[in-house]
C-alpha cells in the first residue's frame, strides 16, 4: 500500500523558543531538541531504520504508551522524525529519522561513545563490568 500523509490533529505544542545566541546558544538549542529521558534514546533506535510504534516501545523498555506518543510528536514537530501512516486495516504507522534527524547520527555516536567510557570508568558497562578506565578530560 502507498503511504498516506499523516493527519494532523490539534495538540498542545510548545511555543517556538527563542535563543539569545550567546556563546552557548547552539548547545542549548540542541539540548532543548533532545532533552529528557527518552528523546535521545528514541533517536538512537530509529537509526536502525523505520520502526513501528510497538517495536519502538519494546526497545525502550519502561516507557508508557502516552509518553512515547508525546515524545514522538515533539520529535516530529521539531522535524527530526517522520511519521508515515499506511492505508491498511488495521492501520500501520511507522517512524523514521528525517534528513535533519539523520544529521544527528554523529552526535548520537559521540554520546554513545562517551557514555560507554563513563560507565566503564564506574565498572557499570560490559558483560563483566570491565575495570575502570579514565574518563575523558573535562572541557
**Per-residue model confidence as pLDDT tens digits over 26-85:** 888 888 888 888 999 999 999 999 999 999 999 998 999 999 999 999 999 999 999 999
Q: Tell me, what DSSP letter sits at residue 127?
A: T
**Could you list the residue range(s) of the whole structural domain that residue 107 is in?**
103-133
Three cell numbers, residue 8:
494532523
**Same domain assignment for residues 107 and 93:** no
**Same domain assignment for residues 51 and 73:** yes
**Same domain assignment for residues 44 and 93:** yes
**Same domain assignment for residues 52 and 114:** no
pLDDT digits (tens, 9 = 90+) for 82-102: 999 999 998 899 999 999 999
Interatomic CA distance for residues 96 and 83, integer angstroms: 7
Whether residue 138 lies inside any domain: the answer is: no
Per DSSP, the residues of 43-106 read HHHHTTS-EEHHHHHHHH-S--HHHHHHHHHHHHHTTSEEEEEE--SS-EEEEEE-HHHHTTHH
Whether residue 17 lies inside any domain: the answer is: no
**Same domain assignment for residues 30 and 94:** yes
Amino acid at each position: 500500500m502507498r503511504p498516506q500523509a499523516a493527519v494532523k490533529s490539534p495538540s498542545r505544542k510548545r511555543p517556538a523558543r527563542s535563543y539569545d545566541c550567546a556563546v552557548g546558544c547552539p548547545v542549548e538549542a540542541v539540548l532543548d531538541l533532545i532533552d529528557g529521558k527518552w528523546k535521545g534514546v528514541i533517536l538512537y533506535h530509529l537509526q536502525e531504520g523505520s520502526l513501528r510504534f510497538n517495536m519502538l516501545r519494546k526497545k525502550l523498555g519502561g516507557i508508557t504508551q502516552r509518553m512515547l506518543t508525546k515524545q514522538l510528536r515533539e520529535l516530529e514537530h521539531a522535524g527530526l522524525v517522520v511519521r508515515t501512516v499506511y492505508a491498511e486495516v488495521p492501520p500501520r504507522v511507522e517512524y523514521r529519522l528525517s534528513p535533519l534527524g539523520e544529521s544527528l547520527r554523529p552526535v548520537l555516536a559521540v554520546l554513545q561513545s562517551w557514555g560507554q567510557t563513563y560507565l566503564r570508568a564506574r565498572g557499570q558497562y560490559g558483560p563483566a563490568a570491565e575495570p575502570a578506565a579514565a574518563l575523558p578530560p573535562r572541557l
